[in-house]
Structure 1
């Protein structure tokens, strides 16, 4: 049996022969000490152990081939396709696709140029041209792209160019009710009344700012350092609020409250448990009976949806004037005039407030005045409209309950600076407002009407209220935490039933019976 030294020497000789076969012109350049005992040397420190293969020859061959490959790459012409398709070792497939997406996006902007953002370009024609250029650029790539990756890249770039970037898929999702962007790398959604984070994000702060500018510029609004807050809307009526630095410390914030293309009806609210059949019939009669109604509740409680449903009860032969900060109401009647407030311009002039629009609406011969939200001194003008023959007006207001609704209305009237005595204001409120519909968002994410309350009259210095329907909390919750209660009648009949008869509207007395079905 041969010794270990002899086996090592044989392995080195095979490695040297292999190296000479790959490069015959190279002379024998054995390092000192690399020879075996037969050559009078000792095994070198870098000698390959038994079974380890001939490292020296193969390493030299690989280095030579690598040098030739580098030379060929340096001589070959560089095109955008080759730059994108050739990746360094260790780069992930996702990074390659991101680089490809960036190149395709840049090529698309270069080819279409100003047509992408021109106001007079037909949207359908623009979409067709964008998709045609996308298909052409992707087909020229040297490295193959799977159909799934091609479809994803096409969709993402189309969303960025034609829509609103990474949030566009959520705006198309009917189950998403709100999209909240807390900086370019953090996006939350509201589904079924609950918040959840998503992995999507914008490329950087500049990408998010471009998206905000695209939204607000389409309706003539602006957002910059001098005006860092803006309320806007999407073409489908969804409400948009944006705040940018320096007010938003951690980066621009974008909040979009979506509205369905087909607005919710009273039957949808009954199915959701927001109100009962009896309550729906009663509210229908109240609207047709020309009662002045305030829809109150907290943020996100569903006030605008309820206002939209109540407005749908207005007869089709009446002239309706709607007044909003951002047009959200979607009325189906034929005779609707929609007004929207306007902020000041870059010079600080030209602002048109809700109060200005309420005053102006009274000169437009309205049968109904519907105000999206009363939040300032416009409350005084709204009360005056209700008290001067414009019965049947409806508005919304932020509050924690029916009693708090009247207190907030009183406070906002004081904001007008008229220095009216508190008793005079309360008499105006008691005379103008007939009904308060209060709504709340529960812990399980559901939105429920909790009070349908009549505003009666003054007793001393206090406005008396009477609940007609209230939410029954005694049913508790199921094992999933969902509220099981519902609206039930209190058994009391409202005093404004006589006023409703003047409009030829009557109410079945059984609606107020406590023994009926919820």
Structure 2
């Protein structure tokens, strides 16, 4: 009798119960023709029904009862519609980013600081997770293209580097789309910006100035870009171009474009500079480029220099370095592009540079807002500080923005606007 009880307990172990419910859920999803990654609510509905049915049967002793039915539903949904053991981290609102260096070294970032988790995976789990993630994006990774950038259904950005390029194991990084702010006033509430600087930036966007948002990794560049874009008047037509969709802001007339990687036949690639050129054929009033990293910077500068207002982000450690980088990247477009052409073009095209950083406590803050008046001295673009950091505070500098007539055209007096920002 004791042997029979032991066998019964083993057959009804929690892992065995969840495994059988998992099989039943997958069968039901297949029979209903549900795409689990795109309709997780439908998967949850089926999972709740299966767990409820199991609970009712457990009252008769036919199956083992569940200690925590809600937890089982969450695990089932994570297994089938989510990303398995990573799903709790993706659902955690405090986690901003997570990455896998190896199956037993999974890290997360919270409030700008990273920490090692106690999650231990297997190589098979990681491979299956990457395959499932990429299946939802339409992008691929293989020996011919050993790295990929993609956007997950929830808006999280996925980056994978295949083993062989990364030593020992494929490196996986997921940057979560966490909405901290959607408008400049909300950045003020978060302490990233002063009210005076926020009013100035909103007025500058309305006036149609060209703005370069700079900073290091995870400094909040995309969030700032979204907040600036939210200040664009609704009467204007906006076209955005990105590697993967990250720009998100409320606007009634906006078309978002993203790149496409090369296909299996070696054709079909759409580069960021292709999108910038195509955007100009779509009657834009504003052009937004998610981030410039290479020769597409030239196409953006040419668009801005033609009188089309725009904005973009760029990796740089200061406003000065952002301008230097904006002068360097276009040189990658070809040998016929020279610094003698690029430097004056940058000086004439960029009006403001907003530089962001992360303080020692992990908080994201605007470090400086500088004006680019268009002057060049000894091949160096001159700048004027409109707002600068002093003793950890963003305060009014001595500079004035360029293109004052554009402010006045929309009914804004820039001198009066900045006079109370001391």
TM-score by length of 1: 0.74
Partner of 1:492: 399
Q: Is 1:501–2:394 an aligned residue pair? A: no
Partner of 1:396: 313
1:188-267 equivalences in 2 (<5 Å): 188-202=107-121, 204-260=122-178, 263-267=181-185
Name which of 119, 122, 147 aligns with 2:67. 147
3-state DSSP class of the match of 2:357? strand
- Could you tell me how far 1:408 is from its partner in structure 2? 1.0
Partner of 2:90: 171
Unaligned runs of 5+ in 2: none
| 1:388-435 superposed Cα distances (whole Å, 9 cap, x missing partner) | 121x20011111111211221121110000423322211111111111
- Residues in 2 aligned to 1:82 and 1:97: alpha-carbon distance in whole angstroms: 10
Partner of 1:306: 224
- Could you tell me how far 1:380 is from its partner in structure 2? 0.6
- Residues in 2 aligned to 1:223 and 1:131: alpha-carbon distance in whole angstroms: 35
Decide whether aligned partners of structure 1 residues 154 and 215 sit closer, same or farther in structure 2, where only a CA change above 3 A counts: same
Partner of 1:84: 11
Q: Which runs of 4+ in 1 moved over 6 A?
A: none
Unaligned runs of 5+ in 1: 1-67, 86-95, 475-484
Q: Is 1:130–2:47 an aligned residue pair? A: yes
| Contact 1:183/1:253 (<8 A) preserved | yes
- Could you tell me how far 1:231 is from its partner in structure 2? 1.1
| Contact 1:307/1:396 (<8 A) preserved | yes
1:69-108 equivalences in 2 (<5 Å): 83-85=10-12, 96-108=13-25
Partner of 2:186: 268
Kindly tell me the number of residue pairs found equivalent between the two proteins: 418
3-state DSSP class of the match of 1:255? strand
| Contact 2:372/2:401 (<8 A) preserved | no
Decide whether aligned partners of structure 1 residues 289 and 143 sit closer, same or farther in structure 2, where only a CA change above 3 A counts: same
Q: Is 1:417–2:324 an aligned residue pair? A: no
| Contact 2:212/2:312 (<8 A) preserved | yes
| 1:430-465 superposed Cα distances (whole Å, 9 cap, x missing partner) | 111111111111221111111101112122422111
Over the residues paired in the alignment, what is the CA RMSD in angstroms? 2.7
- Could you tell me how far 1:135 is from its partner in structure 2? 4.2
Partner of 1:477: none
Decide whether aligned partners of structure 1 residues 165 and 360 sit closer, same or farther in structure 2, where only a CA change above 3 A counts: same
Q: Is 1:328–2:246 an aligned residue pair? A: yes
| Contact 2:158/2:172 (<8 A) preserved | yes
- Residues in 2 aligned to 1:137 and 1:190: alpha-carbon distance in whole angstroms: 38
| Contact 1:101/1:153 (<8 A) preserved | yes
| Contact 1:323/1:357 (<8 A) preserved | yes
3-state DSSP class of the match of 1:195? strand
3-state DSSP class of the match of 1:235? coil
| Contact 1:490/1:512 (<8 A) preserved | no
Partner of 2:106: 187
Name which of 191, 194, 198 aligns with 1:280. 198
Decide whether aligned partners of structure 1 residues 218 and 151 sit closer, same or farther in structure 2, where only a CA change above 3 A counts: same
